Amino acid sequence: MTALGATGVDIGPLGFGTAALGNLYTEVGEDQAHEAVTAAWDAGIRYFDTAPHYGLGLAERRLGAALRTRPRTEYTLSTKVGRRLEPADRTGDGTGDGTGDDLAAGFAVPATHRRVWDFTADGIRRTLESSLDRLGLDRVDIAYLHDPDDHAEATFREGYPALERLRAEGLVGAIGAGMNQSALLTRFVHDTDVDVVLCAGRHTLLDHSALTDLLPAALARGVSVVVGGAFNSGLLADPRPDATYDYTQAPPALLERALRLRETARAHGVTLRAAALSHCAAHPAVASVLIGARSAAEVRDCAEQYAVPVPASFWRELRERGLLPREEPV
């Protein structure tokens, strides 16, 4: 377990991200979702991450229900703020009026609500309170500002100070930001008192951008990093022509690179999945790696692969072949 600063919040080295429980891409049944959380618990996972964005609140409701019988002191839970959910407007032009679906945002759920970007102090508090209702909790361990890319100044002016106040009140234990880029997260590390940041997809075997800014800054400032998107949304789990990379179809050049990585991993007796997870966890600034899974079998596989030791000879060959920067700490 890693302690997040002086907050009293600890997170384990492997966490469970719940976007799939919000019906990411395709539907996941209620029983299947519950079984996935149970499998994570049985595998020793005690850190769970969710967000209102995931299935318009569905992932939060499912995660809360699945954890309801678990001792609250035995797990760490994070959710996100910045995307407020409002009931769909049935008097407008029909867009998002509850009669369609949310597939344009990536989730196979009815469009009963719409997302509103809101990094105001009031919006942050209202969003968190709604999340607590869906989760069935009176507090969360970690609250992340969710994808404030296009709202940076409003976030630093209002959203982040609002999180500080919620931390002081005890509604959240630790605060941070979660994004799919490293540059703005690095600014959070330098310019605020965040406890942790969640960086998705930018510290992987295919994307090393966080190595140049975020990871050294976090290490220097004592800020913990949670790594999401270890498989870049699918490509590093199973490289094939229809695989996804950052939630869209993988470009041919990246597919070819992933296939070369898989070939090298096999030559050293490990799977590409094991190598991808090991790489994410290796940097000393990284406190936890989030896995995304939509079934108990996928959870068990990820937990098993995470535990596989990857030989040093594999990393040496990647460096020799130009597939890994020489400064990577693996």
Q: Which residues are catalytic?
A: 54
Query: In this structure, are strands 140-146 and 76-81 parallel, antiparallel, or unpaired?
Result: parallel
Bridge-based pairing of strands 224-228 and 196-200 is: parallel
Structure tokens at 27: 């539907």
> Considering Cα of 90, then 63, then 2, then 172, what sign does the dihedral take?
positive
Task: Retrieve residue 172's tokens.
Answer: 């959240």
**Helical H segments across the chain, by residue range:** 30-42, 58-67, 121-135, 152-154, 160-169, 183-191, 214-221, 252-267, 272-282, 296-306, 312-320
Report how far apart, in Å, the C-alpha atoms of 151 and of each of 82, 146, 184, 187, 197 are: 9, 10, 11, 14, 17
Give the number of other CB atoms < 10 A from CB of residue 93. Answer: 7
